[in-house]
């Protein structure tokens, strides 16, 4: 691993916990979410303006990745109470377009992210597939950086934390995706409440996540990145389930993630997701619809980190 690669390792989680979110996703897809939705719908027939029930339904839609329905619920909450800061921010976040200066003042801080669907042109997307075919033979399993401070970092393969493969290839990806991202850079800072900065170092990695692959909860902090992003692409028709991105709400007082409260961004072809590095996030387990799953048919992504110019 090069020195530049080591600088962008993820910070060790400050606690040990079962993979609660993955269990929630698994149970939801096995039928729990349908039962929860029916139960909440029955309760709301009796109390259609109950803000607590609406927030529960909004969380249900966030957990299940139904972001359009979630925005509808938070819109209803905003109509009921125009001072519900949490509902306002979650409405913006679930629509994929948080606004500059938007904030919450309660005990919960939802993770912010921006979504850009159909991000690359068809030609650029095809070039991305050709690049993957070229780089795939040299891809290596990604290790884990556990950083207590910048001068004391250890790297190892830890399949209890992550099982993914990748390769750093800034030069090749620069013309395909980096230019497109930087064209919208100031707006990304504003929407994510990140103070505008002069960008300099831009680290990009081409990844694939095979059948059974995943990434446990982590932050992309500790080494100076101001923005993180993921660009998703996959062959059509899609040959796997999972590989979705979960963003966790945080306890405002302690800064700790709330493992039962998250927003699920489903893996979608040609989707860009950009977010502040300090937000806790994870990747759900990938499952092939039919085995074997060829690498080119797996969960494919570009992982990027944007750093400020040093003074």
103-106: long-range contacts (C-beta < 8 A, 24 or more apart)? Answer: 103/193, 104/252, 106/252
Q: Tell me the per-residue pLDDT of 202-212, one tens digit each, with 9 for 90 and over.
A: 899 999 999 99
Cα gap 97→112, rounded to integer Å: 9
Cα gap 251→110, rounded to integer Å: 9
User: Which residue in the block uniquely carries the two structure tokens 């075919």?
Assistant: 133
Cα gap 279→301, rounded to integer Å: 19
Residue 15: the pLDDT is: 42
Question: CA 148, 151, 156, 159 torsion: positive or negative?
Answer: positive
Cα gap 264→269, rounded to integer Å: 15
Q: Tell me the per-residue pLDDT of 47-74, one tens digit each, with 9 for 90 and over.
A: 999 999 999 999 999 999 999 999 999 9
Q: Tell me the per-residue pLDDT of 240-285, one tens digit each, with 9 for 90 and over.
A: 999 999 999 999 999 999 999 999 999 999 999 999 999 999 999 9
Residue 113: the pLDDT is: 97
Mean pLDDT of 291-297: 96
Three-state SS for 123? helix
Spatial contact of 285 and 21, defined as CB atoms under 8 Å apart: no
- Reported confidence tier of residue 146, pLDDT bands at 50, 70, 90: very low
- Residue that wins the pLDDT comparison between 221 and 294: 294
- Reported confidence tier of residue 120, pLDDT bands at 50, 70, 90: very high
Three-state SS for 116? strand
* pTM score, whole prediction: 0.90
Which architecture does CATH list for 1-311? Sandwich (2.60)
* DSSP track, 168-230: E-HHHHIIIIIHHHHHTHHHHHHHTTPPP--EEEEEEEEEEE-TT-EEEEEB--SS--SEEEE
Cα gap 78→25, rounded to integer Å: 28
Task: Work out whether strand 245-251 and strand 240-241 pair parallel, antiparallel, or are unpaired.
Answer: unpaired
- Reported confidence tier of residue 17, pLDDT bands at 50, 70, 90: low
What is the DSSP secondary structure assignment for residue 11, as one 8-state letter? B
Q: How far is CA 177 from CA 127, 173, 238, 284, in A?
A: 10, 6, 22, 24
B/e letters for 187-196, b = 16+ CB within 10 Å, e = fewer, are ebbbbbebee
Cα gap 38→102, rounded to integer Å: 32
């Amino acid at each position: 691993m090069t020195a530049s690669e080591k600088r962008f390792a993820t910070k060790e989680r400050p606690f040990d916990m079962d993979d609660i979110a993955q269990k929630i996703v698994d149970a939801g897809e096995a039928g729990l979410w349908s039962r929860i939705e029916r139960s909440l719908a029955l309760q709301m027939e009796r109390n259609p303006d109950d803000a607590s029930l609406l927030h529960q339904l909004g969380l249900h839609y966030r957990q299940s990745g139904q972001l359009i329905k979630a925005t509808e619920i938070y819109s209803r909450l905003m109509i009921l109470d125009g001072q519900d800061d949490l509902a306002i921010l979650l409405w913006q976040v679930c629509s994929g377009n948080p606004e500059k200066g938007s904030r919450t003042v309660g005990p919960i801080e939802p993770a912010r992210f921006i979504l850009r669907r159909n991000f690359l042109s068809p030609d650029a997307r095809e070039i991305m597939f050709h690049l993957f075919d070229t780089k795939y033979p040299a891809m290596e399993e990604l290790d884990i950086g556990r950083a207590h401070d910048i001068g004391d970092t250890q790297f190892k393969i830890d399949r209890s934390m992550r099982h993914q493969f990748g390769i750093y290839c800034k030069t090749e990806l620069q013309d395909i995706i980096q230019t497109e991202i930087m064209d919208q850079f100031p707006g990304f800072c504003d929407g994510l409440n990140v103070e505008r900065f002069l960008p300099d170092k831009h680290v990009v990695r081409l990844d694939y996540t095979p059948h059974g692959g995943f990434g446990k909860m982590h932050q992309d902090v500790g080494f100076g990145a101001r923005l993180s992003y993921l660009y998703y692409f996959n062959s059509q028709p899609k040959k796997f389930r999972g590989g979705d991105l979960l963003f966790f709400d945080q306890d405002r007082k302690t800064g700790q993630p709330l493992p039962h409260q998250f927003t699920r961004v489903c893996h979608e072809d040609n989707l860009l997701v950009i977010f502040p590095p300090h937000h806790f996030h994870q990747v759900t387990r990938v499952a092939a619809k039919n085995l074997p799953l060829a690498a080119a048919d797996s969960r494919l992504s570009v992982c990027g980190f944007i750093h400020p110019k040093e003074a």
